[in-house]
Structure 1
């Protein structure tokens, strides 16, 4: 305990959390979501065809999966702090590289690199920072870290359109300058080491935790499937599918971004109050209802409410699943980081697979309503899985955690 206290005293927790927020804003919020409003401009300027622009978006998702898989191995080789610096620098460089329209291959490589950095950013910062945060505040802290994702979504709808009036090259460079400033702010904020010394749980607990972790990975992948219709098809559904026009679609995207900005903080605060397990089950239920709502009602209220709620959970589900992995994995830092890396990979696979599958369905006559119905069904299935494995929760882990820790076994 003295060792933990000494390590924690050497870490500026607020600065570490702020560094994590900056990292998620650069690596995911800007690197992924700022590309979406750039697509029409890239096509209109003749840089790429619509199909090529879509494939470049897929390159970022592929890179995200690679980064999630490689993050722990890189951190083990060169340290987590150095890995984070390299990833953030790579994301910044990718923005400036994309300002030069050399070729499709050039862009593909740099979009892949930016996605790779995003995958590593999703895995490493929280597991570096949270051990230094008091247990009763870890939900809120993780929510703040991943609020950068929501801020990036909000920025994509507010900063990019006016920047495009200057031109594409200027827009890419301006985004690069913003990412560089955030990277400089985060550069020295990450802690060198985790505050908690490695510990080992009993083999009995390990055997009982394994099924619940596997179920959690499946739930997280299904959650990714459920989010894809809103992330990919929301604006098109409102604008063309319902015939409400681009302005109505843009308003829904703004609400989506507003929800994403506050979602992780609210979700993390809720988890601190009721525990990560109950909060996760509530999140699955609310998401399923919000996605189903847009499939059965096209009123302005239904569209706005669905956009706001689902937008909140795009980044908001992250701190909840992170808290669950930390509760169910072995209490040593490496096992917890491994569990979170696997969960992030499961989400990336579910997201990429659903995006391609739903695009195929849509291209071959599938309706928007069908896609939103599939999304809602995926969330219902995730909730069923979570409830079904409820009896397998490791009791010893539940009693080992104080009620106020915010990291319950649920």
Structure 2
């Protein structure tokens, strides 16, 4: 059981920790090395987010033909191959964009499946901690990216090889330890229709606002520190690692908060921490305060993912958990992708202060919309 949990941990490690957030470290390196223009480097970041949207939609179709474990294995392989594909930088830019898009599709599938693949097998009293361990893979991936990838600044091509090799190891481990327990859905099997309740709709609105609110930190942070505030690549990479430290601790500590204070109270605290992160980034350019800002955003990002996953489980039930997770990921992916283009356009028209202001307001509204949801909805917490 532990190795199955570990592979689910690797799913979030590869999907968000490396494929999504790890690329943030590479953006200024690719620009300064002359490999890509500023627009191209950011477009590759957005390609993953666009893939997220299609990944959630593709998953429902794939479930009818493949086991959940089979989908996860293929997703691991696609992410690994996408890194090797980006190594071939002499090919047209569209080649890299398509592979980053496919990595986004695969990452979306892994993020949806990481909890359902094992959470239902865990006892109720341990479920919050198991969820925390699974999603801590995001933080660990960010920490590794922040400290390791800046060392490839003088030979950026080797960064792609390194990331591809890590992806292949994760794929091989999934082949060994992900035994099929969730076969393809039988189309003749009748199950209760999936209906979006009022409380789940409010949760989706909160998810959408979180998708908007965390973008300036997670799309531009390293580039902002290097090219706008003129910090060194090493300092900027180390600062980004604080996002990872926050993300890793956020999953575990948010589970403790949920156990102690209940899911709703824990959710409120975590989202408000993300709002405070934006306020700090608005008013300070001191590296100590900036590190605190990115740490809080990391803590809140994975903490919110962990709590939202558990909230969705309680609201929609085990039978519809995969569908609920898929819808959460789809909603998050759509607004993440759309507002990535919006914020990228805004770079040439608005200051970072204004972008952090918009994100802070969005996160505060994400807290407000959950206020009508009664605590009794999560009666087991």
**Helix, strand or coil at the partner of 2:369:** helix
State the distance in 1 between where 2:300 and 2:64 align: 31
Equivalence for 1:86: 74
Equivalence for 1:275: 262
Equivalence for 1:252: 239
Match of 1:371 among 349, 355, 369: 355
Match of 2:110 among 98, 121, 131: 121
User: Aligned pair 1:345/2:330, yes or no?
Assistant: yes
User: Aligned pair 1:355/2:355, yes or no?
Assistant: no
Q: Counterparts in 2 of 1:16-55, with a 5 A limit? A: 16-55=4-43
State the distance in 2 between where 1:338 and 1:130 align: 14
State the distance in 1 between where 2:281 and 2:124 align: 37
State the distance in 1 between where 2:231 and 2:78 align: 40
User: Aligned pair 1:390/2:373, yes or no?
Assistant: yes
Task: Return the offset for 1:383.
Answer: 1.2
Cα distance, 1:124–1:45 mapped onto 2, change above 3 Å: same
State the distance in 2 between where 1:163 and 1:303 align: 24
**1:291-314 per-position Cα deviation (integer Å, ceiling 9, x unaligned):** 212223444443222121112222
Task: Return the offset for 1:39.
Answer: 3.0
Equivalence for 2:185: none
Task: Return the offset for 1:30.
Answer: 1.6
Once the two structures are overlaid, the 10-residue window that deviates more, 181-190 or 148-157, is 181-190
Match of 2:299 among 301, 312, 317: 312
State the distance in 2 between where 1:164 and 1:361 align: 28
State the distance in 2 between where 1:313 and 1:86 align: 30
C-alpha contact (below 8 Å) 1:241/1:368 kept by paired residues: no
Under a length normalisation based on structure 1, what TM-score does the superposition of the two structures give? 0.83
C-alpha contact (below 8 Å) 1:129/1:191 kept by paired residues: no
Cα distance, 1:18–1:251 mapped onto 2, change above 3 Å: closer
C-alpha contact (below 8 Å) 1:21/1:146 kept by paired residues: yes
User: Aligned pair 1:138/2:127, yes or no?
Assistant: yes
| Larger-gyration structure (1/2) | 1
Once the two structures are overlaid, the 10-residue window that deviates more, 216-225 or 25-34, is 25-34
How big is the alpha-carbon RMSD for the aligned residues of Structure 1 and Structure 2? Answer: 2.6
Cα distance, 1:164–1:297 mapped onto 2, change above 3 Å: closer
Query: Structure 1: 5+ residue runs without aligned partners?
Result: 1-11
Once the two structures are overlaid, the 10-residue window that deviates more, 76-85 or 182-191, is 182-191
C-alpha contact (below 8 Å) 2:250/2:302 kept by paired residues: yes
Under a length normalisation based on structure 2, what TM-score does the superposition of the two structures give? 0.89
**Helix, strand or coil at the partner of 2:181:** coil
Query: Structure 2: 5+ residue runs without aligned partners?
Result: 183-188
**1:261-307 per-position Cα deviation (integer Å, ceiling 9, x unaligned):** 32212222322333322211111122212221222344444322212
How many residues align structurally?
Answer: 375
